[in-house]
Amino acid sequence: MTRTIPCLCAAAALLALSALTPVAYADGRDYNDGPVVNVAAIRTAGGHFDEYMHWLATTYKKLMEAQKKAGLITSYRVMVVEPRGPHDPDIYLITEFKNWAALDGLGHKADAVTAEIAGSLEQADHAQAEREKIRTVLGSQTMQAAELK
């Protein structure tokens, strides 16, 4: 009889834990939606790497910090990589957003911040055209992190 009570208690505990497991995975997914990330691939023109990095450390940083302060982005990073070939990027610009909804109307909101930093949208457009001389945007990709449970 004394062995029966501990066995019954262990069986009851196991049954209780088994009953709680489906609640944890009620949505059927082993992950939650994480932040949305945009990764832009950049290739600097020969001999202009340091010049472009200077722009990133000054104007780009001011712009990203202003967007962060305005709540448009949650974070940003600059990653320097070793290109594998002549058409591969040497820099990745990574921008993180809270979720997909943060991208709704982002253009108009970002324009206001850009005009504040650059002086006007016209000046920002001119500066963009000048940067084309020292770097090429190879493309970008937007993705969402899957945060495993």
Residues in the chain: 149
Domains of the chain: which residue ranges?
31-148
Q: 19: pLDDT confidence band, cut at 50, 70 and 90?
A: low
| pTM as predicted | 0.78
Mean pLDDT rounded to a whole number for the chain? 87
What kind of fold does domain 31-148 have according to CATH? Alpha-Beta Plaits (3.30.70)
Query: What is the C-alpha to C-alpha distance for residues 10 and 131, in angstroms, rounded to an integer?
Result: 69
Where would I find the H helices in the chain?
4-24, 49-55, 61-69, 106-118, 121-131
Question: Long-range contacts made by residues 2-8, C-beta under 8 angstroms, separation at least 24?
Answer: none
Asked if pLDDT for residue 128 goes beyond 90, the answer is no
Query: According to the model, what pLDDT value does residue 9 have?
Result: 46
Q: Could you read off the pLDDT of 104-127 as tens digits, one per residue?
A: 999 989 988 988 888 777 877 888
